[in-house]
Amino acid sequence: MALIGADTGLQREIDNIWGIDDHAHPMPLGLELPGDPAAPIQPYDFELPKRMRPYNPEYLDAWAALWGYEHRDFETAHLGDLIAAKNKVMETRGTGYNSWVLDQVKIDRMVNININLHDTLPSDRFPWCAHVEWTLYPFACEPAHTGPSRMLTAAATRKREALGVAEAPPTLERFIDEVILAYLADSKARGAVGIKYNTPYSRGLDFSDPTYEEVAPLYAAGVARGALEAAEHKAVQDYIFRKTVLEAGRLHLAVQMHTGYGVQPQFRIRGSNPLLMEDVFRQASGTRFMLLHGSWPFTREAVALMGFPNVYNDFSCADIYHYPRALSDQIRQALEWFPEKLMYGTDAYSDWAFGMLSGIPSKANPLHGWEEKLWIIDRTGRQALGLALSGMVADGVISFKEAETYVSWVMRDTVSRFHKLDG
């Protein structure tokens, strides 16, 4: 649907192209919390941006398009029936349900951010990008952060044991070899196309460059005590991170980094500025990095960093933070500087995953799942791209033919190249 200011022909092309979503959190079947028909919407205990709130009327559009919802309200009785209607579609579609969801919004493939592979997210439609924040938590941090840090320490234990390493390796060298390098190699062998960090949910992006000699005794102390104080823990994390992204580059695994705003209470906005990683991009020049979400409110910084040959940008999640017209300005900034390095993405997520990030019990909101968010976010991203490109054509910045080329780059080609999806 073309908004005022968008060229209708160009918008039609954008709406009809089958895109590749560079970043999202589709749910494996059976993991979504079932919900309560008597209380179908469970709000969060902290304030969300207006558009992310559960009574956003855009959900009515998504429900109508996906499940045939005939009402224009949030009445409990109507939503109870809607839960049943959605469950019926899931039952009918069976193991092909998730692929069917992609078809509804003309998405060819969706890069699937998950800590594990799942049969109901087949790799031909959902290429896997392994969530690796857990690698930064070989032991607990004191004073222990709430929520996410505990979750990540537990995940690190599970992952280490799955690799056949029963106890935390006693030395830093062995941890890097037996856990980090082994996990990356195993993930690559199982088809992973990249790795993803959501670091600012628990600490800043200011990864220093400590030496092995500085970090090895800290790691040994952490193993002996079962935890480290925050400053010591950060040094260990910084060393592990640098080793991990260098190895990822060697294995041709691209690295996705959460940058910019996050909505959870513990999120470190100041620590999410991608400029904090400038030295990392320079040191790991053989590793491709994606600055997720356009780094808002650090959008200009993100565009400047795209000047590094190995740094790319996207607008996933920015297309739920912002409405189309505001997002179009962010998109245009990137296209005017490095048009071949901007990617379409959604960051479609369920409230189950949202709760996991926040470290609080997940809410049972099956009507606000990754599917509904995908429908809303996809529409926003396509409309914003239409506005941005139409404005550039109208201003004489690019020709209509160039705009058509940019559509293909943003919606498909760049992410395919970034993650080597097509060889």
pLDDT mean over 277-281 = 99
pLDDT, position 53: 93
Q: Which residue has the tokens 């902290």?
A: 46
Question: 258 - beta bridge partners?
Answer: 292
pLDDT at 301 over 60: yes
Dihedral through CA 50, CA 62, CA 110, CA 352, nearest 10? 60
pTM for the predicted model, two decimal places: 0.96
Cβ atoms of 196 and 132 closer than 8 Å: yes
Tens digit of pLDDT for each residue in 94-128? 999 999 999 999 999 999 999 889 999 999 999 99
pLDDT mean over 51-68 = 97
- Predicted confidence band at 358 (pLDDT cuts at 50, 70, 90)? low
Classify domain 8-418 at the CATH class level: alpha beta
Rounded CA gap, 120 and 27, in Å?
A: 9
DSSP 177: I
Largest CA-CA distance found in the chain, in angstroms, rounded: 65
pLDDT, position 1: 75
Cβ atoms of 22 and 316 closer than 8 Å: yes
Locate 292 and state its tokens: 């997720």
pLDDT at 268 over 90: no
Tens digit of pLDDT for each residue in 82-91? 999 999 999 9
pLDDT, position 109: 99
pLDDT, position 143: 52
C-alpha of 68 from chain center = 28
DSSP 144: P
More confident residue, 170 or 362: 170
Highest mean pLDDT among 33-47, 142-156, 374-388: 374-388
pLDDT at 4 over 60: yes
Per-domain residue ranges for the chain?
A: 8-418
pLDDT at 144 over 60: no
Quickly list H helices, 17-147. Answer: 58-67, 76-93, 97-104
- Predicted confidence band at 46 (pLDDT cuts at 50, 70, 90)? confident
Residues sharing a CB contact under 8 Å with residue 268, sequence separation 6 or more, in sequence order: 200, 201, 202, 203, 204
Rounded CA gap, 76 and 82, in Å?
A: 10
pLDDT at 356 over 90: no
Q: Which of these ranges, 138-152, 254-268, 392-406, has the smallest mean pLDDT? A: 138-152
pLDDT at 318 over 80: yes
Mean pLDDT across the chain? 94
Locate 154 and state its tokens: 């537990």
